């Protein structure tokens, strides 16, 4: 197994732990940018011979996930004037424990999957990818602010992309571009929605978005 | 060639509409886009019988289920475009409590939505299919927040977050499908349906099971199968009438098509495993829909839960491998739901509320609307001569004893809940009408669904004689 890949994977795991314990929004955005960078470098580190199109793909991935999306998120953050996630639904110490638990489960699952002996980096990639996916899902559920949920979604998506690149599933250029475009447009729309919610509700706490619960007496307007 | 035409034509018109500012031009462009798209679909149907080769094999191919889906989407879009021409001015005049999206933004995004749905129908590659389904989410999310009310914004946020996470799971499922091929004896080539179907017996069963479950959860969430349906009632009830028609009539079919594509690659020995999950989720959807319909106060949410019910039925159809009946049910459901959501929009326009207890005596205030509303409710519940009656009879015959009972029981509860609501709204003394001046507009708008109602009626009568 090659060393560079192992280092990148270790950084990925660290970024998950940092994200779970981080309350300042700007830090969270930087961590997601770091994940984007790691994700872009992964195919270059894993490949034995580096081709031109791999460099192109890495460049595209890094410029979108490590530069453009974080800038977008920062703009939305400034517009909505949120700096911190002050009262998360799950405290930071508990969050760390839960994310660690998620990693434990992921590694246990990774051992259960019968990967071939010569799989190399794959043996580490699957559990790491699952850890990142679980962390993202946890952030979406455990944080209140709409922006933090977007950050959680990006982490979730990074985990899935990590799985794809580790399994070396070549979907073709059109699909890879399509996936990147979809993620970009999604974050863009989410950013606009954050601003709209901010101006309509005067806050972006998504746990207070509860007008539409099922009610027995008179449903929501 | 026509596939590309059908995908890019609405996108081009979306750009044109976005650039134009005159209301008349926007309306003409929307109608022309809808008609040209429908013409393209008819041409494609003719070409499909000639069995010509696909333009981009492995990427874009037109086959029978895809054709049905794009045909429904196109026909519905045509009806929606015509309805929107008359609905927009009326809505601008009478529904003034919230600021709304501008007309050109609405029409432009609606065209984009049609383009993404066409792409979903023609995608012949699991990766491209995922990109297309996610694109339908992105194109439909702004439409839900047409009214800038708090409730609509909340519905849009939930739709975006829940659907994106769900579709993310489907992407994980897609990569797992790739892994299942990678660890098979044949090796991984590409993600096209054709190469998967050719090697499906060799796929790694463990990875395939995981891939199937992730795809079922992801695309099932988008389709509205319980227990992943939470976003659906909010989105359907908060969106304006033309958008809820497109969401409930066309979008769910695209998501169902995605599940159809995945089941086409199921190896023979895992067939029963996959069927059990489809039938199980279907039955659960029926029961969830029954529970929420019987105590529902909001008639648009009631229609949304009825969609959950019909998606459940379609999953059961597919689990029992009744492919033709499933497609027939899909067409029938889309036609009936379209009429009902148009009518719900008209009723909301006149009464300004979605709670049925404030509405009564529609037979005396808006007789035409009352007839279609009551008839539509009976049709969606599968009362003969509805086309859904025939397909449901076929389903019960195939399902047999215990499963048949499990299907019939929630269907009966749903029938009671929906007809009760419809009867209370239409019968009785004429209640107070908050927007008296909107009644003529509401009646005029009901003429379009009145004409459309002949389609399921004629189809239903024809099907009963075929039974």
Hey, which residues 100-119 in chain A have their CB within 8 Å of chain B? 113-114, 116
Alpha-carbon B185 to chain mean position:
39
User: Is B186 at the interface with chain A, CB within 8 A?
Assistant: no
Place B203 in a pLDDT band, splitting at 50, 70 and 90. Answer: confident
- Closest Cα in chain A to B357: A218
Residues in chain B with CB shorter than 8 Å from the CB of A154 are none
Intervals of chain A under pLDDT 70: 1, 85-86, 114-122, 203-204, 210-211, 213-221
Q: For residue B207, give the nearest of A97, A112, A180, A175 by alpha carbon.
A: A112
pLDDT at B244: 95
pLDDT at B186 over 50: yes
- Closest Cα in chain B to A167: B179
Instruction: Report how far residue B31's alpha carbon sits from residue B82's, in angstroms, rounded to the nearest whole number.
Output: 7
pLDDT at B96: 78
Report the domain count for chain A: 1
Tell which of A175, A205, A206 to mutate to test the B interface (max B CBs under 10 Å). Answer: A175
B150 to A163: CB separation less than 8 angstroms, yes or no: no
Nearest to B164 among A186, A197, A218 (CB): A186
B168 to A164: CB separation less than 8 angstroms, yes or no: no
Place B272 in a pLDDT band, splitting at 50, 70 and 90. Answer: very high
Which two three-digit tokens encode residue A168?
């070396």
Collapse the DSSP code of A205 into the 3-class scheme (helix H, G, I; strand E, B; otherwise coil) and give the result. strand
pLDDT at A216: 42
Q: For residue B288, give the nearest of B240, B367, B220, B389 by alpha carbon.
A: B220
Domain that holds residue A183: 3-208
Nearest to A186 among B138, B153, B183 (CB): B138
Q: Is residue A94 part of a domain?
A: yes
Half-sphere exposure of B375 (CA within 13 A, CB side): 20
Instruction: Report how far residue B213's alpha carbon sits from residue B261's, in angstroms, rounded to the nearest whole number.
Output: 14
Collapse the DSSP code of B453 into the 3-class scheme (helix H, G, I; strand E, B; otherwise coil) and give the result. coil
pLDDT at A119: 60
Q: For residue A172, give the nearest of B152, B123, B328, B6 by alpha carbon.
A: B123
Instruction: Report how far residue B39's alpha carbon sits from residue B37's, in angstroms, rounded to the nearest whole number.
Output: 5
- Closest Cα in chain A to B192: A171
pLDDT at A120: 62
B127 to A171: CB separation less than 8 angstroms, yes or no: yes
Question: Where do the domains of chain B lie?
Answer: 284-467
Here the ipTM equals 0.89
pLDDT at A121: 62
The stretch B71-81 carries a mean pLDDT of: 95
Place B133 in a pLDDT band, splitting at 50, 70 and 90. Answer: very high
Please state which of the ranges A96-105, B178-187, B283-292 shows the lowest mean pLDDT: B178-187
Residues in chain A with CB shorter than 8 Å from the CB of B153 are 193, 196-197, 200-201
Q: Is residue A218 part of a domain?
A: no
Tens digits of per-residue pLDDT, B297-339?
899 999 999 999 999 999 999 999 999 999 999 999 999 999 9
pLDDT at B53 over 80: no
Is A52 exposed, middle or buried, given 0-12, 13-18 or 19+ CB atoms closer than 10 A?
exposed
pLDDT at A16: 92
Place B410 in a pLDDT band, splitting at 50, 70 and 90. Answer: very high
Tens digits of per-residue pLDDT, B208-267?
998 999 999 999 999 999 888 989 999 999 999 999 999 999 999 999 999 999 999 898
Please state which of the ranges A194-203, B82-91, B452-461 shows the lowest mean pLDDT: A194-203
pLDDT at B200 over 90: no
pLDDT at A86: 65
Tens digits of per-residue pLDDT, B4-49?
899 999 999 999 999 988 888 999 999 999 999 999 999 888 877 6
Burial per residue of B360-377, b for 16 or more beta-carbon CB atoms within 10 angstroms, e otherwise:
bbbbebbebbbbbbbbbb
- Closest Cα in chain B to A158: B168
Q: Is residue A221 part of a domain?
A: no
Q: Is residue A122 part of a domain?
A: yes
Hey, which residues 358-397 in chain B have their CB within 8 Å of chain A? none
- Closest Cα in chain B to A213: B234
> Facing residues of B56 across strands?
B60
User: Is A215 at the interface with chain B, CB within 8 A?
Assistant: yes
pLDDT at A213: 64
Instruction: Report how far residue B234's alpha carbon sits from residue B159's, in angstroms, rounded to the nearest whole number.
Output: 8
């Amino acid at each position: 197994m090659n060393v560079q890949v192992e280092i990148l994977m270790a950084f990925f795991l660290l970024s998950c732990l940092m994200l779970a314990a981080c309350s300042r929004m700007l830090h969270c955005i930087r961590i997601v940018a770091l994940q984007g960078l790691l994700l872009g470098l992964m195919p270059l580190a894993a490949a034995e011979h580096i081709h031109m199109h791999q460099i192109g793909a890495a460049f595209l991935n890094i410029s979108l996930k490590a530069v453009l999306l974080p800038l977008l998120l920062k703009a939305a953050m400034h517009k909505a004037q949120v700096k911190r996630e002050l009262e998360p639904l799950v405290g930071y110490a508990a969050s760390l424990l839960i994310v660690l638990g998620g990693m434990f489960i992921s590694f246990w699952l990774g051992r259960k999957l019968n990967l071939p002996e010569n799989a190399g980096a794959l043996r580490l990639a699957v559990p790491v990818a699952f850890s990142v996916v679980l962390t993202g899902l946890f952030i979406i559920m455990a944080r209140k602010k709409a922006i933090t949920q977007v950050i959680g979604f990006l982490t979730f998506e990074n985990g899935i992309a990590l799985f794809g690149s580790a399994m070396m599933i070549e979907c073709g250029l059109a699909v890879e571009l399509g996936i990147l475009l979809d993620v970009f447009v999604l974050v863009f729309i989410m950013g606009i929605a954050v601003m709209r919610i901010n101006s309509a509700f005067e806050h972006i706490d998504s746990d207070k978005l509860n007008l539409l619960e099922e009610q027995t007496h008179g449903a929501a307007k | 060639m026509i596939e590309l035409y059908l995908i890019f034509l609405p996108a081009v018109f979306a750009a044109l509409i976005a650039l134009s500012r005159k209301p008349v031009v926007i309306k003409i462009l929307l109608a022309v886009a809808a008609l040209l798209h429908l013409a393209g679909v008819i041409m494609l149907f003719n070409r499909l019988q000639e069995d010509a080769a696909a333009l981009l094999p492995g990427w874009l191919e037109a086959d029978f289920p895809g054709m049905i889906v794009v045909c429904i989407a196109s026909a519905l879009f045509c009806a929606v475009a015509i309805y929107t021409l008359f609905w927009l001015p009326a809505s601008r005049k009478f529904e003034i409590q919230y600021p709304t999206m501008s007309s050109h933004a609405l029409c432009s995004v609606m065209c984009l939505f049609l383009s993404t749905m066409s792409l979903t129908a023609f995608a012949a590659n699991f990766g491209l299919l995922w990109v297309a389904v996610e694109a339908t989410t992105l194109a439909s999310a702004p439409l839900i927040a047409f009214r800038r009310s708090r409730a609509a914004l909340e519905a849009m946020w939930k739709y975006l977050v829940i659907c994106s996470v769900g579709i993310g799971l489907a992407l994980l499922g897609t990569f797992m499908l790739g892994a299942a091929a990678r660890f098979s004896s044949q090796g991984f080539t590409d993600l096209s349906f054709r190469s998967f179907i050719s090697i499906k017996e060799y796929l790694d069963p463990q990875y395939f099971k995981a891939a199937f479950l992730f795809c079922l959860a992801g695309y099932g969430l988008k389709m509205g199968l319980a227990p992943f349906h939470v976003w659906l009632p909010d989105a359907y009830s908060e969106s304006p009438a033309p958008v809820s028609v497109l969401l409930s009539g066309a979008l769910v079919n695209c998501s169902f098509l995605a599940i159809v594509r995945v089941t086409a690659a199921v190896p023979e020995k895992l067939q029963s495993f996959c069927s059990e999950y489809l039938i199980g989720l279907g039955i659960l959807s029926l029961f969830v829909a029954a529970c929420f319909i019987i105590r529902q106060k909001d008639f648009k949410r009631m229609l949304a839960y009825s969609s959950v019910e019909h998606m459940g039925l379609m999953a059961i159809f597919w689990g029992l491998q009744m492919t033709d009946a499933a497609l027939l049910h899909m067409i029938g459901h889309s036609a009936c739901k379209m009429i009902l959501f148009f009518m719900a929009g008209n009723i909301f326009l006149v009464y300004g509320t979605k709670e049925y207890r404030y509405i009564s005596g529609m037979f005396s205030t808006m007789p035409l609307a009352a007839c279609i509303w009551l008839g539509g409710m009976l049709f969606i519940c599968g009362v003969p001569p509805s086309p859904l009656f025939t397909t449901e009879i076929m389903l019960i015959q195939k399902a047999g004893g215990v499963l048949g009972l499990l299907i019939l029981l929630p269907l009966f509860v749903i029938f009671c809940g929906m007809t009760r609501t419809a009867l209370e709204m239409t019968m009785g003394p004429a209640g107070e009408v908050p927007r008296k001046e909107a009644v003529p507009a509401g009646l005029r708008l009901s003429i379009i669904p009145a004409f459309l109602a002949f389609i399921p009626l004629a189809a239903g009568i024809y099907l009963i004689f075929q039974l």
